[in-house]
Amino acid sequence: MDDLLADFVAETREMLEASEGEIIAWEADPADRARLDTIFRFVHTVKGNCGFFDFPRLAGLSHAAEDALADCRAGRRVPDAALVTAVLAIIDRIALMVDAIEADEAFPEGGDEELIAALEEGADAGPVLEPLPVPQPGSDVAPAKKAEAVVAQRSIRLPVDLLDRVMSGVSDMVLARNDLAHRLRQAGTQPTIDGPFERLTTILADVRDAITRMRMQRIETLFGALPRLVRDLSAELGKQVMVDLEGGDVELDREMIEMIRDPITHIIRNAIDHGIESPSNRLAKGKREIGILSIAARQSGNTISIVISDDGAGLDEEKIAAKAVSTGLITAAERAKMDREKILNLVFEPGFSTAEQVSNVSGRGVGLDVVRDNLERVGGSIKVTSTTGVGSLFTLQIPLTLSIIAGLTVEVGEQRFAIPQSYVEEIIHSSAKALDHTRVGETALVTFRGNRVPCLTLSEVLDLPAGDIAEGNHTMVLLRLASGDLFALAVDSIHSHGDLVVKPLAPAVMKSGVYAGSTLLDDGQPVLLLDVTNIASQHNLVSDARTRVLQTGEEEKAKTAKAHARAMLFTDFDGRRSAVRLELVKRIETAPASVIDLSAAEPRAVIDGVILPLIGLPDDQVPSEKVRVLRLTDGACELLLAVREIDDATELDDKLKPVPDDPLVEAVTLVGGKTVTLIDGHELFARHGEAPEVAAKPVCRLPDSEWARTILGPLVTSVGYDVAHGQDAEIEEDIAILFDDDYEAAAAIDITFDKPVIRLRDLPDEAGASETIYRYDRDALVDALRKARSAGGKR
Amino acid sequence: MNDLLVMAQIAGRRCAFKALDVKSVIEVGVITPVPRTAGFIAGITAMRSQALTVIDCRRAIGFDPASWALDERAIVVAVAGHSYALMVDSIEDITSGVSEPDGVPGGFGPEWSRVATGMIETRTGPALLLDLAALIGGPETLGEAA
């Protein structure tokens, strides 16, 4: 194929990709002139280019489409759905023909006439002939974003080989620079040379950066094809889906874009097929009939995250769990212990597919397990979260490039090896004691965060002579595999870590199965990159999917076991540093003095409308305007513990020394070198705990006036009463507040009150003041209400 | 015919590589050994920013390298996208072939027959033209084939 033809194919294809999104936008709004122009330009260019070559069929098709579109542009014709479909069909045919031209194959004869005939006005192209409703401005069916036509960047076409050559040339320059730097250091400081050398270093770093970016491509190239995919799929499945793309300017290694194309397509298919409901179904659920599928790409540091979310039905936890149990992925007992998130992520396990019937859209023989495998192969990951009825959200994390990875360089004997950073969980420079290094049979084990973890010695893995480091004195690199399995790798020392440019290894070396590639250190020394997954599987350290699920469960248990030893530190009113186990603490509250009730035998306070026992006050006095209280709960009962000062949550890592003579103290321990008294929760609740009196909120009837509602009401509520107004007959009050006038009027006609009454007077000083309370005498009012409450008892 | 050939001594025999296959001849620097690989892989070494797999040709064919001298230089070749440095007894010269490679009655012996394309007449006498892919595959392929 000559160069001219290759250029034609490349250009046509590029324009196809670029106009894909435009076509969909045009379909949504056939009256959109800008879109029409873009598509017209495309078919026009194809037609023009065909003139150089002998492609009569291509020319015929593009000419017909151009004519029809020109009519629309001139206003002789109104674009409708049938026209859009016909033009799309022609563009599809053009794409297929271009593919055939590139492959140098003959394109099957025939079919063109039908396509061209479909362009005719009034042609019987399909059932829809009415013009699509043109959305009114501001109506909510308008396309989400009227993205401006993409401005093409000025670009040239380069063979990848050439790029690679430039890249390796730059790498060579970096090595030469490093060598030079080394020699300059040996020669001592030479200001005349050091200056220019520094400049060279900076320039080189810049160039290296730019070269790396040459391999990058905007993710737009991937996004461009998605609107069409979504349109075709939703049409096929009778659903209405709007796609919302975000972050198209995020750049990614070209090869990486190819790697993620299939996974993303797969997830979108799933979302439309299983996630988004049919329009009628959506309306029934009170959603808009158009489903929204949003795809967003974001770069953070060295990873790109792509989030694909839909507002469909969401994943069905029960269905997934039942399926997993029936396929033997998990047992019923295991299922009971798993939380929702874990169950949802079962969809990525091999041999799992939720579709009850394999449809021709989702059921293609590949499941989400393949998607996950593909992503993990390039160092990425995927997870899903979902809310039933609201939608699902898939998050893909992928590294920026395939060829540069963050790595750790370790030393064994005289030799260095690299380990991809993504596997490294933790590095422990340790003695045998800290890790409890033991041997069970031939297997070495270390204890890491309370778990026994198998331990491999790198020198043994590689058949290297064991160094002179005693067993257990190695530096441990804890590696977590993508499957969740953890193991330790004993090395002599850690050399460095940084970005590694990974190069493939010769097949004869790869055959050993322990290396994934090679890389050059800054000094030009080649270093082998270890294939962690393969090493683990060679030593039978990789569990199958089932144990993977279980193990993470156990780890979480271990985490909570560790959390048991946490406590809230505080200083009580006697100035003692004390602590209470964190599990007991429900909340930290600040109680104003007004809610504290000291009138009863035991102090109480009202928090959130609940009356709770309050302990810890000095001499049963309210020490200040506001008191910090810890709201403690044992699950059923609650109580409040007043403290002078809240310190911090801490871990009780020191030994607990029991105190036998004081039942209220569980133990004494050291936190940060100081003694702390740990309060005995059991004794505390045995003595003071009681169920919150939420039901025992008494009702106070207020006079039916604006003043009572807005001024008196809040005060009464704050003391812990519910308020009834005027003549609300159905509520039975525990106490009533009446203006003295009303009270006397009632008394005059012999109405008796069977509930206590607080009488208010309008003036501060008046006759008979002992029986009434001045209406702005807050203290007296509060006092009277409290007394009435404690006297009235608890219902 | 009339192809340029790089001549080398391997295990005491004259061998020829097609000059088109040979990318360069380098001084071998530090070789990083690669544990757990076949014996004929001496290790990897860096040529500028590229990592080369170093193959000891004597072992790759099936001989004991200790019996022969070793050239400090190595022949760099590329096979299937990967670059290799070939360690030989000595690198002699570049010359041109004067015949097509051909077999000889009775063969070249089992080790040599596996790696040889055939005998080739050169201006400086007959030599064995080596098949790079077979050479780099190492003696294991012989074992598997048998």
Which pair of tokens denotes residue A360?
């021709």
pLDDT digits (tens, 9 = 90+) for A326-349: 877 788 888 888 888 888 888 887
> Burial of A103 by CB count in 10 Å (0-12 exposed, 13-18 middle, 19+ buried)?
exposed
- Residue-level pLDDT at B77: 92
Give domain status of residue A123, yes or no: no
Q: Cβ–Cβ of B136/A508 closer than 8 Å?
A: yes
Q: Cβ–Cβ of A508/B46 closer than 8 Å?
A: no
From A520, A525, A528, residue closest to B34, measured CB to CB: A528
Give domain status of residue A415, yes or no: no
- Residue-level pLDDT at A301: 64
Q: Cβ–Cβ of B45/A174 closer than 8 Å?
A: no
A392 and A309 assigned to the same domain = yes
Residue type, A253: D
CA distance A329 to chain B (A): 36
User: Is A464 within 8 Å of A412 (Cβ atoms)?
Assistant: yes
Structurally, how many domains does chain A consist of?
6
Q: Which of residues 370-399 of A touch B (CB under 8 A)?
A: none
Residue-range definition of the domain harbouring residue A494:
427-554
Give domain status of residue A389, yes or no: yes
A632 and A763 assigned to the same domain = no
pTM of the entire structure? 0.47
A110 and A248 assigned to the same domain = no
Q: Which of residues 515-554 of A touch B (CB under 8 A)?
A: 515, 518-520, 524-528
Which of A91, A118, A145 finishes a domain? A118
From A461, A508, A527, residue closest to B41, measured CB to CB: A508
Write the CATH number for A656.
2.40.50.180
Which pair of tokens denotes residue A298?
């974001």
Write the CATH number for A104.
1.20.120.160
Write the CATH number for A372.
3.30.565.10
A246 and A275 assigned to the same domain = yes
Measured from the Cβ of residue A44, the count of other Cβ atoms closer than 10 Å reads 17
Q: Cβ–Cβ of B45/A509 closer than 8 Å?
A: no
Residue of A nearest to B45 (CA): A526
A375 and A479 assigned to the same domain = no
Q: Cβ–Cβ of A515/B34 closer than 8 Å?
A: yes
Which of A85, A118, A151 finishes a domain? A118
A239 and A385 assigned to the same domain = yes
Q: B80 CB near a chain A CB, below 8 Å?
A: yes
Residue of A nearest to B42 (CA): A509
Q: Cβ–Cβ of B82/A462 closer than 8 Å?
A: no
A204 and A87 assigned to the same domain = no
User: Is A723 within 8 Å of A713 (Cβ atoms)?
Assistant: yes
Residue A174 has pLDDT above 70, yes or no: yes
> Domain B4-145, what architecture?
Beta Barrel (2.40)
Q: Cβ–Cβ of B136/A520 closer than 8 Å?
A: no
- Residue-level pLDDT at A90: 83
A621 and A701 assigned to the same domain = no
pLDDT digits (tens, 9 = 90+) for A620-633: 677 777 888 888 88
- Residue-level pLDDT at A430: 65
Residue of B nearest to A459 (CA): B35
Which pair of tokens denotes residue A20?
């894909």
pLDDT band, very low/low/confident/very high, at A493 (cuts 50, 70, 90):
confident
Q: B9 CB near a chain A CB, below 8 Å?
A: no
Give domain status of residue A387, yes or no: yes
A764 and A745 assigned to the same domain = yes
DSSP string of A207-273?
HHHHHHHHTEEETHHHHTTHHHHHHHHHHHHT--EEEEEE-TT-EEEHHHHHHHHHHHHHHHHHIII
| CA pair distance A633, A689, nearest whole angstrom | 8
**Torsional sign, CA B40, B43, B45, B49:** positive
Give domain status of residue A745, yes or no: yes
A533 and A643 assigned to the same domain = no
Lowest mean pLDDT among A74-88, A151-165, A194-208, B64-78: A151-165
- Residue-level pLDDT at B85: 92
Q: Choosing among A511, A529, A531, A534, which should be mutated to test the B contact, i.e. which has the most B CBs within 10 A?
A: A511
Residue A162 has pLDDT above 80, yes or no: yes
CA distance B68 to chain A (A): 24
CA distance A491 to chain B (A): 15
Q: Which of the two residues, A660 and B51, has the higher pLDDT score?
A: B51
A321 and A335 assigned to the same domain = yes
Percent with pLDDT over 90 in chain A:
0
∠ Cα A190 A193 A194 (to 5°): 75
Q: Which of A26-35, A444-453, A724-733, A760-769 has the highest mean pLDDT?
A: A444-453
Residues of A in contact with B57 (CB under 8 A): none
Average pLDDT over chain A, rounded to an integer: 76
How many contacts (CB atoms, under 8 Å) link A and B? Answer: 73
Q: Cβ–Cβ of B49/A520 closer than 8 Å?
A: yes
